[in-house]
A and B are shown apart, each in its own frame.
Chain A
Amino acid sequence: MSETHKAGRSAGVRERAPTAPVVVAGAAAALFALPLAGLLWKAPWSKAWPALTSEEAGQALRLSLVTSVSATALALALGVPLAWVQARVEYRGRSLVRALTTLPMVLPPVVGGTALLLALGRRGLVGPQLDRVGVHLPFSTAGAVLAEAFVAMPFLVLTVEAGLRTSDRGLEEAARTLGAGRWAVFRSVTLPLVRPSLLAGGVLCWARALGEFGATITFAGNLQGKTQTLPLFVYVKLESSDPGSAIVLSLVLLAVSLAVLASLRDRWLRAL
């Protein structure tokens, strides 16, 4: 009985396959697929290996890995407590804080970089104080990490906050009534509960950090081996007389991001 019902339903779905949304969906998918096809079409495959193994490209790739992983670590250290407070603590101004933490997602990254410069630069709001204790962020790798974290952390905070909101608070309360301390509850109940969204948020944050361009070049500058991450290197190369190597490197960046996002899709949807 239930099987015939199921079969009937799926057959019904197939029958009603609506044309209009499918056509629009196809166009939407093409919007994403076409640029990718353009890159694949123009990529000089014969020059791919030398382009990928050049010293400059290697340096940019290594630097990108170091900075994006560091930015994700920084985002986890700062972002998880922030997400917890936003999800679990009622306070005045909570929506303002949420808007603030979402801001980097809509702010043009170049503006973000300028804002960082105005705050942490040599003449910035707190820059002189940082200078006095020997912290120089502009033109440094640490500056590149900070710029990436600034732009990418919202992805982590929003995902983890959503996970915390939808997680079962009954389990936490039960643990508390059984005598577990707050930290123990957080570590052995809350964190395992939001693990999928933690993972999803972390990976999204990392992917965004890996692709970061505007805030990095504005705040940290462009110096090979120090602040020239892969997106910056690709941009410089694209404008040179040999844009082929840049296209190959863009494809590497795309392949990495695509692989990460494809493996993540289900988890992310569940977390949200």
Chain B
Amino acid sequence: MTRAGRPRARGAALALTAALVVGACGSGGAASGDRSRSALSGSVTVFAAASLTEAFNQEKATLAARAPALSLTYSFAGSQTLAQQIIQGARADVFASADDKTMQRLVDAKLVEAPRAFARNQLEIAVAPGNPKHVGGLSDLVRPDLVVVLEDPSVPAGSYSQQALARAGARVRPRSLELDVKSALAKVTSGEADAAIVYASDVQAAGSKASGVTIPTAQNVVATYPIAVVRTGANHAGAAAFVQEVLSGSGQAALEAHGFLPAS
């Protein structure tokens, strides 16, 4: 299946890209649009880092309009959780990780095709709306009056946070090491914690429920997000089409609208 399927998959992906380009130009493009519609069907399961939740949900709407026969299912969790699930044989077609290290584990295990960077993200300090505790930066997080929550170092965001705190020379005593970045953010939006180090995109996703305190570039860590087609997936054509969509103009726009930086 894979040998025969791959050229067809590329063809389908190309057709879809063509459809997207034509569509973006505003003309009808009915013929090529129909071709991609007939080629892309079935279900695609995307395992994606928790921080991608909002951006990828928008991609889903875009893709649904362009390939209605394709049914897209997401599983959002900490990248390390998802990688472990794929290693254990979970049925995923696409994997989008919040760091290269986690993706590399799957590359080494020959479970994914060549990954491509599709977005970057920076760290930010999430605080209560309006920053009532006047958190000014990373060095403030050592203050004893602050309840600070981080992520476990096994989570990409947790390891990035450790790097950033080391650069700022701040020895923070967190109250909890959450297992994904959205859980850490939830502790701030629920008012249980005063501050958490999360991605800039997460602060944006929280809307009015949290404010962000920017971390200067000298201390900040830039996370690169790689995406790859999973070799063991059942729908190679659909997976390739999803990756194309994420890398396309509309995909990149959706990511930028949700606080991500372009890949390069």
Q: Taking beta carbons and an 8 Å cutoff, which residues of A are in contact with B?
A: 117, 121-123, 138-139, 217, 220-224, 227, 235-236, 238-241, 243
Contact = CB atoms under 8 A, between A and B. Distances in A.
A121 B154 contact: no
Contacts of B179: 217, 222, 235-236, 239
B152 interface: yes
Contacts of B190: 117, 121, 123
User: Which of A138, A217, A235 has the largest number of chain B CB atoms within 10 A?
Assistant: A138
B147 A239 contact: no
Nearest to A232: B179
B80 interface: yes
B78 A239 contact: yes
B23 interface: no
Contacts of A241: 105
Given A121-B191, A122-B191, A223 B175 contact: yes
Interface string B150-194: 001010000000000000000000111111000000010011100
User: Which of A123, A223, A238 has the largest number of chain B CB atoms within 10 A?
Assistant: A223
A220 to B, nearest CB: 8
Q: Is the interface of A mostly helix, strand, loop or mixed?
A: loop
Given A236-B154, A240-B80, A240-B154, A117 B192 contact: yes
A121 B176 CA distance: 14
Given A121-B191, A123-B190, A139-B147, A243 B175 contact: no
A224 B154 CA distance: 14
Contacts of B152: 222, 236
B192 A123 contact: yes
B149 interface: yes
Interface residues of B, number: 19
Nearest to B78: A239
Closest 4 pairs (CB-CB, A-B): A221-B176, A123-B191, A139-B175, A239-B80
A227 B176 contact: yes
A122 to B, nearest CB: 5
B139 interface: no
B219 interface: no
Contacts of B78: 239
B175 A221 contact: yes
B62 interface: no
B57 interface: no
A20 B262 CA distance: 62
Nearest to A138: B192
Contacts of B176: 139, 220-223, 227
Contact of B84 (A117, A121, A239): A239
B84 A238 contact: yes
B81 interface: yes
Contact of B177 (A121, A138, A220, A222): A222
10 contacts: A117-B190, A121-B191, A139-B175, A139-B176, A221-B175, A221-B176, A222-B152, A223-B176, A236-B154, A241-B105
A117 B187 CA distance: 10
B228 to A, nearest CB: 18
B191 A223 contact: no
User: Which of B149, B175, B178 has the largest number of chain A CB atoms within 10 A?
Assistant: B175
Nearest to B177: A222
B158 to A, nearest CB: 10
A141 to B, nearest CB: 12
Interface string B51-92: 000000000000000000000000000101100100000000
A128 B147 CA distance: 15
A243 B84 contact: yes
Nearest to B149: A221
Nearest to A228: B177
A236 B178 CA distance: 10
A128 B245 CA distance: 48
Contacts of B81: 239
A239 B191 CA distance: 28
Nearest to A140: B175
A38 to B, nearest CB: 11
Nearest to A220: B176
Nearest to B101: A241
Contacts of A122: 191-192
Contacts of A235: 179
A236 B187 CA distance: 19
B174 A223 contact: yes
Given A236-B152, A239-B154, 8 more contacts: A117-B192, A121-B191, A122-B192, A138-B192, A139-B147, A221-B149, A222-B152, A240-B154
